[in-house]
Structure formats: structure tokens, C-alpha cells
Structure 1
Amino acid sequence: MTIELDSTTHAPNRISLAVTGMSCAACANRVERRLNKVDGVIASVNYATGVATIDAADHVTAEDLCAEVDAAGYGASPIIDHTEAISATPEDAEVKDLLRRLVVALMAFFPLADLSVMFATLPSTRIPGWQFILTALALPVVLWSAAPFHRRAFTGAKVGAASMDTLVSVGVVTATLWSLDTMYLHPSRTGTAPDGVWAAIWASDAIYLEVAAGVTAFVLAGRHFEAKAKRSAGSALRALAALGAREVTVLTRDEREMRIPISELVEGQRFVVRPGETIATDGLVVSGESSIDASAMTGESLPVDITPGMAVIGGTTALTGRLIVEAAAVGADTKLSGMIRLVEQAQTGKARMQRVADRVSSVFVPCVFLLAGVTFGVWWMTGSGGERAAAAALAVLVVACPCALGLAIPTALLVASGRGAQLGIFIKGHPALEATRDVDTVVLDKTGTLTHGVMSVVAVTVEGTRTDGEVLRLAGAVESASEHAVAAAITRHARQIHDTLPTIESFEALPGLGARGIVEGAQVHVGRLRLFHQQRIDVPRALLRELRRQERVGRTVVLVGVDRVAVALVAVADTVKDSAAPAVARLHRLGLRVFMFTGDNAYAAQSVADEIGIDEVVAELLPEGKVELIAQMQERGHRVAMIGDGINDGAALATADLGMAIGAGTDVAIAAADVILVREDLAAATDAIELAHATLRTIKGNLVWAFGYNIVAIPVAALGLLNPLIAGAAMAFSSFFVVSNSLRLRRARLGG
């Protein structure tokens, strides 16, 4: 089949900013809204990477946009080179910092939960200095563990914005101040408690330090899980940036070599690439020959033979031979930088559930404060006294604390991750869960996904009296001295048959053609048909017919000659995984349309597709081609899942509605995908979709409970029917329900 690529245009003034100070998705929304208010600006802010991507009119400068971000209460600076900016990102300490604060909060919460309730409800148990014990336990939590909430609440207040952090901060501070006032200035009773537990609770002193510590601990737990997910999302870009060279050897005018940082390389400058080195940037080969491993950028399974006049791509690796290359593009203009931008742009989208939660929180928090204020005023004006009014208002703040809302998604993901791990599946975030709802098209990469990604000998044809084993023994001895992927396959196969291979003498590599040498006194040639023509070695017609047949099904064929007589051919190919055909059949049974995209040649692609039952194939695609085709499918209304494993699949995985990476694949693919298939069995892909559906149902149930709980509990608290202590217990029960509901995923049954 043929699919035409749409032509694309790029904004004449695209600006990227590194945004600092964002602590949650709501912060990214705030920055994005502020930027989009600027005339002539279309902005998208990626919370995971801290990057704002802006298409701006010509009159808008980066300095203008940075000023807007500063005015919103955050910091920003222009990004000139995405590769350098991302690769220079320091190791983020946010996850570790949240974990330390969470541990301190939990260590204080458990004794506070016992002592606060006991001292509040049973005055007879109060020992000398009891106030100081509770204060010493609570202040580290309130002042240090909850400090991020206080800081973000203050930042939001400066620009007139309220968030969940504002609600948490005010609730914690209010509960603490009211408790301190009760303990030190207005202890109401001494002696024994009223009869009955409930009577004691209703008549208890207003000591809510355990509520302050519990709120802090619950919300920190949710933020810790969120921070881990956020950092893993940004790792795709860092993994891509790691592909680039840091230094390059350039040639001076007098042909001397000089090592310089890659940032100093300029267009038109010549540089040297030695075997094993990463090609520094896109360029044109001036001299030298080499085999290039281009799988990182094109997905082609075989190395590409490069000769003078051919183009090379930065981020690929030279396997053999020394090259002199003239730089054709540097910095942000290289294909590697383009891939980074593709992944970055694809990751800026937000999940629908998260967008709903963001909108609800922007209205919910001000409403809670308004209701708390109205509650206090009404109770005060009815003559109930300041203590009664403050208790009712505090109950509203405490019972509305969004612990359940904060835990609804992270806990379900945590349990699903554990269940998925048992099945060889890892789901990275709720966007993946939502994407499974409407997926109708699956795109499969070939190399490393449907195939093993390693060349293997699939056929040996001998002409004459020699046996297969004898031919492979001689060919393996020659190829053992070569670094080429085909040579490695032949050597590996020969060693499976023979424990040891004979020693080779007078070995000579013939770039682009093959190799030759002396083995046990015989001259042995191993290489392409062109080598045999060049060396005037006759090839029997039977071998020529077999060679053409093998090439028609996409296999790579080398001839073996002994003493200037062609005696055999060896066909090499990337073999299909045993699980590929059953997995494709199962996807078809689920009613999904299945495509295969690959950077490999059309013959090899069609051969694999025919073997596993895929009818729709697009071959010889570069990474941007895969992205464009997936985008076109999405524009036509399709929901696309992409399954891949290579570096070149990173942008496509991020662009697809659901990205699924083979766990044995590259770091880039794993980081860019939404779902990781740890086990090699491709049936894990369908298991992942089923698990995602179950997790999505659980998250929806959690969110319904979290919002429903607040809808019911807040009016009850406002009517004065909830003591703040009971309100804290209700808040804890809400969180307990969410966690319990999520734990049901451990029993989810999957499988085809």
C-alpha cells in the first residue's frame, strides 16, 4: 500500500523557554494561560520537562515572554539548543526531597494520632508538659514537611491564584494555630471525660495536630508518586540528548587534528570520525569508507556502507574505517535535535482526566474558602460564639482537604504497576489508560519488535562436493576477523556447529564488498556478488538463481569462494519472533487495524509482514516519517497505539495516543512510551490494554468517590454537625476507601 506524507510547515518564530518553579500540572496551566494571553502567541507548556514551546508573531521576543512568565510568579530563560539544554539537566532531587519530608510526617503522625486524641478527649491522662510533647512532634511536620505547600500557596497568593496547595497550607496552618491556642491559652477542662466515647469526642478540646500531620503525610504521598511519574516522562528527552557527541575532532587548514567541544563546531567545518565513534553532526563524507550503524535514526537492521559523497546523520555510529565529514548542519538544525523537539512536543498534551481535575481545582479551592468564611460568619452572627464558629469553619477546611483526590490516580497506578509487573507490563501514567479507551489502530515497528533485531543465518546453499559444515567452518574463520553485522551472524552460526574455528592468515577487509584471507592454506572469499565479479570469480548459475530468490524475500546474501571457485551462498536475515504471528492474530480478533512501519527496505519488510499476517506495510521510513503518518491517522479520527523498541521509535511512541515499548529496547523508546512490555512475548501488548481498561475503571471510581465525598461532607461540616476531629477521621476514611478500591486491581485477571 502507499501512504502519502502531508507537507508540513514550521512557524517562522518558534521560541522555547526553560520554566522554573512549577510544582504541579496546575502551575503549567497557569503559565500556559498567561503566555496565550499575549497577542500573536500560541503556547504549550510541558510540565514533565519544564519547557514552554511557543509559536509567536515576529514582533514577540523571548525577553517579552520571559517577563510574562516572571509576572505569573515563575522563572524562565530562553533555550537556544534543545540538545545541550536537555542533556545539561542536573539530577533532579525532587523525588528524594519529597520522600524525606514524607518519612518525617509519617514518623510524627502515628504518635500524634494517639496522643492528640487521648489528651483532647481524656483530660485526666494529661501529664506535665503534655503540650510541649505534642508541639515538638507537630512543628517539624508543619514547618518543614509541609513547607512546599506553604511556599506554593504564598507564590500563588502573590499573583492572586489559589490551588490545592493553598487549601492544604491553610488547613494545616489553621489546625495547628487553633490547637496551639487551645493547649496553651484556653484549655477548657481538667478531670474526667464525659461518659461514652462519642460524647468525649464531641466535647473534646480543639486539638487537631494529628489532622495537620495526617493531611501533610497523605498529600506528600500523592505528590511523591506524581513526582516520580513526572521525572520518568522527561527521561525520554535526556536519553535522546545522550546520543549526541560531546566533543569532535576537527581538521585545521594545515590538516592537523584538534579536539573541540561540539558546541564550537560550525557549518562547513571538516571533522574526523574513527571506528566506534559517534558521528558528531549531520554532514557529507569527504573521504574514507565505513559501515555505519544507523539504526538509532532509521531503524534499518543492517549497517549502511558509506563512501565519499554520501550523507551521514549525527548520533549514528561508525563501525569500521576512518571518515572525514563536512558538517552540513549543527546545533538545533540537526536531525537529532529535530527528534528531540518531536518527542518534546508530543509530550506536552495533557490527559483528559487531568484537565478536568485542573479545572475543578481552580473553582473548588476558592469555593471552599468562601464556604468556610460564610460558615464562620453565620455561626458567629447566630450567637454561637467564636469557638463554635471557628470549629465549624475549620471542619469545612479539614474535611475538604483533597487527600482522596490526590491519591485517586497515584494509588491506582501504583497497584496496577505491581499487577502489571507480575504480567511483564509497566504502565507509566494515566494518559496511557485513557488512550486505551478508543484505540482502533495498532502500528508495529519491525526490527526488535516483531523480529529479534539480530542478524541470523537462515539458509546455506552449497554447490559441489563440500558440506554445509565445511563451508561454514571456512567462512566463519574469515568473518571472525570482521566487525560487520553479517560477519558476526555467520561467525556465531559457525561456532554453534564447530567448537573452534581455524586460524586465518593474511586477512583483508574489503569495505562495501566483503573480506578474504588464507584459511588452512586455501584462499577464501566471503562477500557480495559484486566482489566475485570484481575478482573474476565464476559463480555457478544454480547459486545465482538461489541468490536472486533469497534477495526477493528480503534476505541479505553473501557468497563463499574457495581457491577462486564459488562453492556456496549464505543467506542472513533478522528472524521473526515466535510470539509475533499469534499476537498479530489476537490484535485482529480484538477488531484492531494493524500496520507495520519500518525504516528497513521494502523487500525485508514485506517478507516479515507476509510471515506474521500483516497486510498494511510502510517501509523505508525515517523517524519523522513515522511521526507524520501517525499524525495523519489521528487527523482522520483514528486512535493509534504504537509498539516499538528503537531509538528511532521514540518520537513516534510519544506522538501516538498509546505508546508501548519493548522492555529490552533502547532507553529512548522506554522513556518515551506510556506502557513498557517487559517480557518478550508480544501477547503482553493485549494484556496491557486489558489491564489499562481495568485501571481506568478503578480511577474513575476513585474520582467519583473523592468528589462525591466532598459534595456530601462539606455541607455537613458547615452545618456544625462535624467536630473537626471527626472531620479529620472522615477525611482519612475517604483516603482509606480510595486505597482499598485501588487494591482490588491486584486480583485483576487478564490473558487471551
Structure 2
Amino acid sequence: MSWLGSIAGGGGLYVTYRVIRNLRLSRRPLIELLTLSDLAVLPDETGALAARVDEETQEIKGMILASATAMGVSLVGVGLLSPLLVLSGTLVVFTTVNIIQAALYGVFVERRPRIAMIDSIAIVALLATGNVFAAALTNTLYWSGRYLLKKTEDRTQADLANVFGTQPRFVWCLVDGAEIRIPFTDIQTGDHIVVNAGEVIPSDGLILSGSAAVDQRMLTGEAQPAEKGPGSEVLASTMLIRGRIVIEVARAGQNTVAAQIGEILLQTTDYREVLEARSSQFADRSVMPTLGVSLVALLALGPVAGTTALMANFSEVLRFVAPLGMLNYLTLASKNGILIKDGRALEELSYVDTVIFDKTGTLTLETPTLKRVIAAAGHDEDDILRLLATAEYRQPHPIAKAIEDAATAKHIAVQAPDATHVEIGYGLRVMIDNRVVRVGSRRFMDMEGVELPEHLLDAERSSHTDGHTLIFVAVEGEAIGAAELRATIRPEAQSVVAELHTRGLEVYIISGDHERPTRRLAAELGIDHYFAGVLPKDKAALVQQLQDSGRRVCFVGDGINDSIALKQANVSISINGAARIATDTAQIVLMDGTLRQLRYNFELARNYRTTLHSNVGLTVAAGVLCVTGVFFLQFGILSSIVLYNVNLVVGVANATYPLLRSPLDAKTLPT
């Protein structure tokens, strides 16, 4: 009767719970059904999607509470009242239904046995033999392991709304010479849109009038603003730094380059969706051997021995202590400024054999370096640098900072110019010592009527081939020289690459730049492999090509142009300060904005792998001991429970040990 009461009570309780939960979920706002295009209109409401993710976690917590309550009630019921055993059994049945469903799903849908099958059979067998407490304990450990595993999984979805999140709700459309305010969603191909400095370009198109400097870093990864004038193409989601332009819309909404990258990102294979924690894989692989041993014990020694042999599968302990160990390593990572959003990434990182770096913004810094000053005949390099630094005094862009740093390094005194006129997007016209000084691009010099000598034009062609930038200087209409700026390699990049080589990893550079500058950077950093002239959509294809050849790839990138490759890679890493969609997509973010912590990340991964393997060994040893005891030492269910808990305590101690010892500190690593 107690059996029937527990089954009836637990089944009724579960049905009631599901009805109430489904009624509550049916009242969710329709925001959860939004498509990608809707996110452009309602970027602030995407937080409602996170609520759905939390539902599973809340349900797991409820199951843990119910199972723990069943344990307590069963202990009291053994010594006092048998009705309490019925109540305890009811809670056990209630918390077992989902486990049975998971077992059936594995058999009939996934076509493979899952560890939930062992748990289901064991719990039913324990209830049948009157071991309610043991059944409740098994449930508690099952759901606790699920909770810890859930905590280590990725809790941050790639927020594609960020591709559109900075778009205005309204734009200014030029109609018959008048600027009309229209909703962003009403933009049509052929419209003429006015964009001012500080605004985001809302659509792809061509500039009809005006000139500007455009920050395209979000799409191209290039740190230096691009000069744009009439006839130039502009892309949605890029930022107008200086100037004012009127563009004719060529593509809007879902047809823009940014939106297409977002769509590709949605369709790209996400290894986080197919990557299972190895502790779960080990547990699932142990199902059939355990069932076989249990069947032999059942036929040879009876139901108690069969149940005990079934409980000798201590992989449930591993499912508990493995994520616990993972959480401890995630704690160590966070203390050293590494944000690991998906614990499985740390586990997978220990198996990585190939690291791919994006070039611009990842291996190089935003602020370039002044490589050299080219002086025309009769002019002094230091004087040209002084004029450059004075003209660029307090200008808010990376090139000005590079020139200022170079002047400071040479102890050249710089003061504010007498007057400054900025020719938006092209250059500067300033008064210095009562002379008109012009600083800017070749286009600016042509606009100002300044003739450039052949040796400076040769220098420009050579600089362009090398992927560098040349800034010209003219005084009173005469070109007197130029300054060549090159990308600044991160100071820690060479030592990080050397450390990766020491670990036996293959290192690649991938870049949209020309081959010559990419090849030179690879040689400077000691990197043997590189891909140059790669379009954003092709980066993921190169990652997949390496994966198809058997490699496990870690991709390190910083821009929206890297986001597809980040999602394709086995492990994805970005740097704090990178494009928002890159840090959203990446599983790991280096919070200090440098690559220094990358080495510590691999060290953590190796240590976690060691901890995991030792826990696997302990679990297997305990299971073998228990099975041996069943056949030769007459072990019963109580002996199995004792051994189970000893294994659990040892496993927890091993998983917690990294926090107790003096951990390797990322700050102590050489730079």
C-alpha cells in the first residue's frame, strides 16, 4: 500500500506542478518570439529571453529541495511513523519522473543509453526494496550534479541585438531639400539619409555629398578611421567620427553587411551546442557495462545484490565533483581577471592543438607607431615632427597620439597651434609661427593644391604596399616631408607566441590585410603559418578546414568580422575592449585587455584536466571495489552507500584542493 500511495501521490504532485508551470509560461510576453530584425527595434527588451534560460535552473533547484526534504522525512519516518515514509516516497517519485523521461529520451530519441537510465532503475529498485533514504540520496546527488553542471555551462547568449543596438530609433531623411525625421524601420532603398558626426550610419549606401572620417572597426577590425567622400561606400553600424554626409541607401535592414554577418553567425555550427562535458560522456559510456554486471549479480545472488551492483556505478559522484572542480577553477580564473562564460571551454582548451590569432586589434594595438619621418631636401626631420605634433595637438584620434608619443620620446617641445581648421575627414590646416601648415592625406594635399615631389609619392606607394599609413606635411603650400605610421605590435605578443610554441601548439595569423604586412608580422612574432587577404565570412571556413583535418582550434579575435570564426572554433577567446559582439560570442574574455593572461588560461586548463583525470581514476577504483565486494564479500546496499559517500568526500576534497593550495598567479608570469 505504501508503494501505491507513493506512486499515486508523486504522480499527482508532478502533474499538478506541470499544469501550474505551463499556465505560468503561457503568459510570457510575445517578446520571446521576436526575430533578429525585431531586435533592431526593441533592443532593450531582449532581457526577457534570459528569463526563459533561468527556468531550467529554478526547476533544478526545486528538485534538489524536494529530494533533500525526502531524505530528511525518510530518516524521521524510519524511527517514528510509517506515513512519513509514504510522504518521503511521494517526493522521491515526484523528483524521479524527469529522470525517467531523460532515460526514455536517450533510448528512443537519441538512440543511446544515458546515465539517467541507471539512475531511474536504481531509484525504482531502491524503493522496491524499501530503501527510501538511499533513493532520496541518489536523487539529491543527481539533481545537485545537474545544478553544478548547469552553473558551469554558458549563461551568456551571443547578443546579436548589439549589431543593431546602437542604431537610432529615428533618422533624418532628405526629402525635397528638407530634413524629415522618420523611424529607423521605415528606411527604404534609394532614400537620402543625413548623418552627422557622432552618429551611427544606419544603412549601407553611397555618399552623395560631404566628407567624413568613419570608424569601421566594428566590421573590418581596422583601428584607423577611413576617409570617405562623394562616391565612397559606407556600411551600416559604422560610426561617423567627424564630418557630415548625405548617403543614398543601397541596402537597409536585413540586407546590410552587418545583418548578413549576424545571419551567418546564427547559422554557423556552434561547438558549444554539441560539446558535452567529459564527465557526462564517461557516465553515459558506463551504462551498458553497469547493467551487464547488475544483471549477472541479480541472476547469481538475488535482487539485493543486483541493486547493489547497480549502485556501484559511482559516475554520479563524478558528475557532481567534476563541475564542482570546474567552478573552483573558474573562481581562480576570475580572481586573475579572466572571464570564462562557459566552463566547458576551459575543459576543451586543454585539448586544443592550434591557436589562430586575428591580426588587427588582437596582435596589434589601436594606437599606431611612428616608424619614420621622411624629409624633403633642405628640411630637418625633427622640425617636421615638431610641426606634426603641434598641428595634431590634442586631436582625438590614434594617429595624433602616435605622433605625440614620438615627439615626447625625442624631447621635442610641443604647444598649441595659433589657429586650427579641420578639413573634415582629410586633414588639418593650422597656423604655426605665422605660417600655414597643412597636415593630412594625399587627397587633402591635392584639394589644397599642394604638389607632392616624386620621392614622397614613391614613399607613399611603398608604405601602402607594406600596409602602413603616410601623413604628408606642407608649409606655405610646399610639401616638406611625411611621416609613416605602422601598426603597433602588442608588447606581450612575442612572448605569448613563444609560450604557445613551448606547449607544442601550432600558431596561425589570419588577416584581411595584404600578404606582405601579414607575412612580416608573422616573421617578427615567430609564427610559421598565416592567412592573408581573408574576408570575414571566409575566416570561419578556414577554421573549419583545420578542424576537418583533425585539429582542435582556439580562435582569438576582437571584431564583428571575427564573430563567425569565434563561434565556429572549438574554443573562442576575446579581449576586453573588443567589439561587443565579439565578447558576447567568445566563451572566454581576457579582462585586462592584453594577451598576457592567455598563457595562464592554458595553465588552468591543464591543471583542471589533471584534476578531472584523478577524479575519474578515484571513481573507477571505488566502483571496481564495490562490484568486487558484491561478488566476494557479500556487500549490501548499506556498504554501497558507505563506499559511495567515501568516494564523494574524497572527490570533493580533490576538486577543492586547487583553492587551498597556492595557485599560479597570472600576474607572476613573465611578460
TM-score band by shorter chain is 0.7 to 0.9
User: Structure 1, residues 472-530: CA drift from partner, whole Å, max 9, x if none?
Assistant: 5543443347555434543565678678732553513143x312133453322111234
| Residues 618/675 of structure 1: CA separation in 2 closer, same or farther (3 Å cut) | same
Structure-1 residue corresponding to 2:136: 212
Structure-1 residue corresponding to 2:570: 657
Q: Distance in 2 between matches of 1:482 and 1:749?
A: 42
Helix, strand or coil: the match of 2:153?
helix
Structure 2 residue 502 is matched with structure 1 residue 578: no
CA contact (8 A) 1:446 1:597 kept: yes
User: Structure 1, residues 530-563: CA drift from partner, whole Å, max 9, x if none?
Assistant: 4334434455677666656655543212122233
Q: 1:301: Cα distance to partner?
A: 2.8
Structure 2 counterparts to residues 628-647 of structure 1, below 5 A: 628-647=541-560
CA contact (8 A) 1:640 1:656 kept: yes
CA contact (8 A) 1:659 1:673 kept: yes
Q: Distance in 1 between matches of 2:630 and 2:185?
A: 62
- TM-score, length basis structure 1: 0.66
Comparing 685-694 and 554-563, the one that deviates more:
685-694
Structure-2 residue corresponding to 1:736: 649
Q: Distance in 1 between matches of 2:102 and 2:132?
A: 29
Structure-2 residue corresponding to 1:245: 167
Structure-2 residue corresponding to 1:626: 539
Structure 2 counterparts to residues 293-308 of structure 1, below 5 A: 293-308=215-230
Q: Distance in 1 between matches of 2:347 and 2:638?
A: 37
Q: Distance in 1 between matches of 2:39 and 2:620?
A: 42
Q: 1:624: Cα distance to partner?
A: 0.9
1:335 to 257, 263, 267: 257
Q: Distance in 2 between matches of 1:701 and 1:86?
A: 49
What letter matches 1:208 in structure 2?
A: F
Structure 2 residue 600 is matched with structure 1 residue 600: no
Q: Distance in 2 between matches of 1:603 and 1:540?
A: 26
Comparing 595-604 and 620-629, the one that deviates more:
595-604
Structure 2 counterparts to residues 401-412 of structure 1, below 5 A: 403-407=316-320, 409-412=322-325
Q: 1:361: Cα distance to partner?
A: 4.1
1:92 to 50, 62, 73: 50
| Residues 484/352 of structure 1: CA separation in 2 closer, same or farther (3 Å cut) | closer
Structure-1 residue corresponding to 2:585: 672
Structure 2 residue 327 is matched with structure 1 residue 414: yes
Q: 1:294: Cα distance to partner?
A: 1.5
Q: Distance in 2 between matches of 1:253 and 1:152?
A: 64
Structure-2 residue corresponding to 1:281: 203
- How many residue pairs match? The answer is 625
2:422 to 483, 508, 526: 508
| Residues 309/529 of structure 1: CA separation in 2 closer, same or farther (3 Å cut) | closer
2:612 to 686, 695, 699: 699
Comparing 215-224 and 616-625, the one that deviates more:
215-224
User: Structure 1, residues 116-148: CA drift from partner, whole Å, max 9, x if none?
Assistant: 76985xx6xx7xx9998x999x89x959xx978
Q: 1:681: Cα distance to partner?
A: 6.1
Comparing 677-686 and 642-651, the one that deviates more:
677-686
Structure 2 counterparts to residues 78-477 of structure 1, below 5 A: 81=37, 88=46, 90=48, 92-93=50-51, 142=91, 150=97, 208=133, 212=136, 215-216=139-140, 219-220=143-144, 222-232=146-156, 234=157, 236-238=158-160, 240-241=162-163, 245=167, 247-249=169-171, 251=173, 253-254=175-176, 256-344=178-266, 345-348=268-271, 354=277, 357=280, 361=284, 364=287, 403-407=316-320, 409-421=322-334, 428-430=342-344, 433-434=347-348, 436-437=350-351, 439=353, 441-461=354-374, 471-472=384-385, 474-477=387-390
The gaps in structure 2 that reach 5 residues or longer are 1-31
Q: Distance in 2 between matches of 1:491 and 1:474?
A: 11
Helix, strand or coil: the match of 1:328?
strand
Q: Distance in 1 between matches of 2:572 and 2:609?
A: 16
What letter matches 2:250 in structure 1?
A: A
Q: Distance in 1 between matches of 2:576 and 2:36?
A: 33
CA contact (8 A) 1:95 1:224 kept: no
CA contact (8 A) 1:476 1:495 kept: no
Structure-1 residue corresponding to 2:4: none
Q: 1:412: Cα distance to partner?
A: 3.5
What letter matches 1:226 in structure 2?
A: K
Q: Distance in 1 between matches of 2:394 and 2:503?
A: 49
The gaps in structure 1 that reach 5 residues or longer are 1-75, 183-205, 383-388
Q: 1:288: Cα distance to partner?
A: 3.2
Structure-2 residue corresponding to 1:33: none
Q: Distance in 1 between matches of 2:311 and 2:449?
A: 89
Q: 1:102: Cα distance to partner?
A: 7.8
Q: Distance in 1 between matches of 2:634 and 2:254?
A: 62
Q: 1:667: Cα distance to partner?
A: 3.8
Q: Distance in 1 between matches of 2:553 and 2:271?
A: 17
Comparing 524-533 and 716-725, the one that deviates more:
716-725
CA contact (8 A) 1:299 1:600 kept: no
What letter matches 1:627 in structure 2?
A: A
Structure-2 residue corresponding to 1:561: 474
Structure-1 residue corresponding to 2:10: none
CA contact (8 A) 1:296 1:646 kept: yes
CA contact (8 A) 2:271 2:568 kept: no
Structure-2 residue corresponding to 1:48: none
Structure 2 counterparts to residues 511-522 of structure 1, below 5 A: 511=425, 513-519=426-432, 521-522=434-435
CA contact (8 A) 1:392 1:719 kept: no
Q: Distance in 2 between matches of 1:369 and 1:96?
A: 38
Q: Distance in 2 between matches of 1:324 and 1:710?
A: 73
User: Structure 1, residues 566-625: CA drift from partner, whole Å, max 9, x if none?
Assistant: 344333222112222233344445554433212234454344334323354433333112
| Residues 590/359 of structure 1: CA separation in 2 closer, same or farther (3 Å cut) | closer
Comparing 90-99 and 286-295, the one that deviates more:
90-99
The alignment's C-alpha RMSD in Å is 5.2
- TM-score, length basis structure 2: 0.73
CA contact (8 A) 2:330 2:343 kept: no
CA contact (8 A) 1:554 1:604 kept: yes
Q: Distance in 2 between matches of 1:303 and 1:434?
A: 37
Helix, strand or coil: the match of 2:430?
strand
Structure-1 residue corresponding to 2:403: 490
Q: Distance in 1 between matches of 2:239 and 2:162?
A: 14
Q: Distance in 2 between matches of 1:404 and 1:261?
A: 57
| Residues 214/637 of structure 1: CA separation in 2 closer, same or farther (3 Å cut) | closer
Structure 2 counterparts to residues 45-60 of structure 1, below 5 A: none
| Residues 348/259 of structure 1: CA separation in 2 closer, same or farther (3 Å cut) | farther
User: Structure 1, residues 663-719: CA drift from partner, whole Å, max 9, x if none?
Assistant: 453443334334444556646445544543443344344446556756765797799
Q: Distance in 2 between matches of 1:270 and 1:305?
A: 20
Helix, strand or coil: the match of 2:495?
helix
